[in-house]
A and B are shown apart, each in its own frame.
Chain A
Amino acid sequence: MNKIRGDGEIRVGVYVCHCGTNIAGRVNIKEVVEFASKLPYVVVAREYKYMCSDPGQELIKNDIKELKLNRIVVASCSPHLHEHTFRKACEDAGLNPFNFQMANIREHVSWVTKDSKEATEKAKAMVRAAVYRVVFHESLERKSQEIHPDVLVIGGGIAGISASLVLADAGKKVYLVEREPSIGGHMAKFDKTFPTLDCASCILTPKMTQVKDHPNIELFTYSEVEEVDGYVGNFTVKIRKRARYVDIEKCVGCYECIEACVYKEGKFPDEFNEGLSKRKPIYIPFPQAVPLAAVIDPATCIQFLSGKCKRTCQQACERGAIDFNMRDEIVEVKVGAIIVATGFKTFDPSRIPQYGYDRYPNVYTALEVERLVNSSGPTGGEIILRDGRRPQSVGIIHCVGSRDKNYNIWCSRVCCMYSLKLAHLIKERTNAEVYCFYIDMRTPGKGYEEFYHKLMEEGVHFIRGKVAEVTDWAVTPEEEGKLIIRVEDTLIGVVRRIPVDMVVLAVGLEPRTDADEIRRLLNISCSKEGWFLERHPKLAPVATFTDGIFIAGACQGPKDIPDTVAQAEAAAAQALALIDRKRIELEPNTAWIDEEKCSGCHICIGLCPYSAISYNEEKKIAVINEALCKGCGVCVAACPSKAAQQRLFLDEQLYAEIEGALL
């Protein structure tokens, strides 16, 4: 370390955090402090039990004032956690917050190193790297940028609806984008909700109507987000409004067109009823749909397939809402924050062939049964088998595709409870014998365990054991014509055969198949399973690592309705807190060109992914537009004459840090 910046005497303070025993339990703090105090320019080195606590920060503030410190190093946790805290402490004491550097000796040292001696040596190196680096730090100014006050919500399920309503009620303009023809998501398909047995649509429909009627919400159904550009406070979003071939402004949902369709009966699997009923090419997804407007599916409509339809639907519509010439439309909106609430998909049980789904007609998924018990469903709420019989016995198999390393390792969290709910509804409507096959009963929630007890009293049979297979191979006369569930009852230690008429598979929750595309679109992270990753699992559950983008609901992980709503409203509050600040301060880590050094070689210009660098013909040098620069530093690494530099990541800072880490 032979050259330093010439802005007066450099006085470094080093603060080593114990983090209780998180760091001190592995790293010899005394030794690190002793070592730090001997490093060049270090005026004081101290230790404290919790540096991030108020007294910890006071320690730094007092030293800055009393010892005239002008550089601060805190050796503690990850800068992603507390860099902001300590920068703020510096600022409070009158020191420019960028004269600060953090050494990560918890996540990167004490928590990952078994040997105490090795951990101490590594911690010393990390502290030395930070001290060497901080010497080259300089006072910087944060630039601030105006925040666009509108918000985009992606996904119109209960999460997206809840988040949109909170924001809209707070007076913010919300763009809600849903890919299906109606909002409502999975919840709209349910009959009752656990454990209160509220009617799902009775509590959801008013909210859906509120969304439609709210002056602050602009609803895009049958639409998808195609492009997201920009950054926190200033996103530009392109939304593709898919052609619906029905003008939703004109359509009143009278069903005349559907009646008039050349298909007398429905012919194509109805997505909303999980394929249990048939729909026509022109249809309204369900009676409470919002918007209540028909949609034409071009993949099944004769007019689109052959161009030779009599177009009876168009003739039937008095209001002239049907327009076969409609085209996809791209709408561009500007927003300050984005809430992602794209939800989940259910596990496909045909992946477990031994459970017989798709092989035996009377094996159903739970979501199919939800439609069967729903009074607006394909059977009007009657629980009947595919051949029209009423089941006399029903087996519900828990954990299908969940808690199984062959499929999904995680617990899907809602299956126990929705299985109990279905068990209750089936028993109530058909008086059938109901068997629940469970591995563990997981009912942690308000009123959930009580609901489980209620079902035991109702006479549902609970059998603990993972089901081996569902078969129709009868060995005794009473098994004839039935489905036989083979299972080891682990409470009594025998293998049992239970004959039933109907099998319900409690399928687990999975990330959506296109989660990866959404993730890339928004530049956020996924866990390795495919759930969107929150900034911190405990303390920042709705924020992501990309500022201005929040996540809510089951796209973040399996969740029931109360948790989804709570998280959605939390995401809305976070977005509100962001946009109500009006202006946002940006990290000053942008790049600039040293005019004297630039030879005008053009190398950096083509490298910049944001087209932030241009060529000044007059001066024959490159120029960086700092408003466009996002601070990646690609140009800095490539500049052959070292004319391009990046604030907070100057060459000399990184050289010093590397040297310090290795010595």
Chain B
Amino acid sequence: MNNNNNKFEPKILGIFCNWCTYLAADLAGVSRMDYPANIRIVRTMCSGRVDPQFIFWGFKNGADGILIGGCHPGDCHYIEGNYKTLRRYLLLKRVLKEIGINEKRLRLEWISASEGEKLQRVVREFTEEIRSLGPITEDRAFKLNLIEHKK
């Protein structure tokens, strides 16, 4: 970790599906697995509900990183919602790069209801990664003011 970034506490948005990753976060809680407080969790029924615009909206509202959590392939409560999430995610990464937001700020993870430990690990890793990337306002998109950051 860069020493200069020590004071930077990234804001991370987690959008988790109701059946797997949200439950993994519940399990991590019940098992008292601590992880950085930087993540704020929003629940949707399926990761397939994550509208690409939620991602832009999240970044616009100050998220330095966004973590989408869904069920493992083949395990989706809605049969195949997570495959659609994966397709969108891959496209979104390209779009983010195009407009000048570091694509690493968006991450998709499959975390099942029993994987409290994986949730803890992923949140820890992702927080550190975003910390090393620095605030999103440093990204080209925000510097060039392509997206209006302040309302």
Question: Which A residues fall within an 8 A CB radius of B?
Answer: 78-80, 104, 106-109, 111-115, 118-119, 121-122, 125-126, 129, 520, 523, 525-528, 533, 545-546, 589, 607, 609-610, 630-634, 636-638, 646, 649, 651, 654-655, 657-659, 661-663
Contacts and interface: CB of A to CB of B under 8 A. Distances in A.
B115 interface: yes
Interface of B: 11, 13, 15, 19-20, 22-23, 25-26, 28-30, 32-35, 37, 40-46, 48-52, 54, 57-58, 61-63, 74-75, 77-81, 84, 88, 112-115, 120
B84 A607 contact: yes
Contact of A106 (B29, B35, B49, B62): B29
Contacts of A78: 26, 29
A636 B51 contact: yes
Contacts of A610: 78-79
A609 B61 contact: no
Given A528-B115, A637-B88, A632 B45 contact: yes
A106 B19 CA distance: 18
Contacts of A108: 25-26, 29, 41
B11 A637 contact: no
Contacts of A654: 42, 44, 51, 54
Contact of B84 (A520, A523, A528, A638): A638
B112 A525 contact: yes
Contact of B45 (A111, A126, A649): A649
A644 to B, nearest CB: 10
Nearest to A109: B37
- Of A113, A114, A637, chain B has the most CB atoms within 10 Å of the CB of A637
B58 A633 contact: no
Given A523-B77, A655-B57, A112 B44 contact: no
B71 to A, nearest CB: 9
A135 to B, nearest CB: 16
Nearest to B52: A637
- Of A79, A533, A654, chain B has the most CB atoms within 10 Å of the CB of A654
A326 B120 CA distance: 54
- Of B45, B52, B74, chain A has the most CB atoms within 10 Å of the CB of B45
Nearest to A655: B57
A631 B112 CA distance: 20
Nearest to A81: B26
B113 A545 contact: yes
Contact of A112 (B35, B40, B46, B114): B35
A129 B62 CA distance: 14
B77 to A, nearest CB: 6
Nearest to B48: A634
A542 B3 CA distance: 50
Given A661-B40, A663-B62, A630 B115 contact: no
Contacts of A113: 34, 37
A634 B81 contact: yes
B45 A651 contact: no
Nearest to A525: B113
Contacts of B57: 655, 658-659
B13 A658 contact: yes
A335 to B, nearest CB: 20
B30 A658 contact: no
Contact of A634 (B28, B33, B78): B78
B51 A111 contact: no
A129 B29 contact: no
Contact of A637 (B32, B49, B58, B63): B49
A589 B13 CA distance: 23
B30 A107 contact: yes
A115 B37 contact: yes
B37 A633 contact: no
Contacts of B52: 637
B45 A631 contact: yes
A119 B46 contact: no
Contacts of A630: 78
B49 A662 contact: no
A535 to B, nearest CB: 10
A650 to B, nearest CB: 11
Contacts of B34: 112-114
A78 B43 CA distance: 11
Contact of B78 (A107, A118, A119, A609): A609
Contacts of B29: 78, 106-108, 111-112
A662 B77 contact: no
Nearest to B58: A658
B79 A658 contact: no
- Of A107, A609, A634, chain B has the most CB atoms within 10 Å of the CB of A634
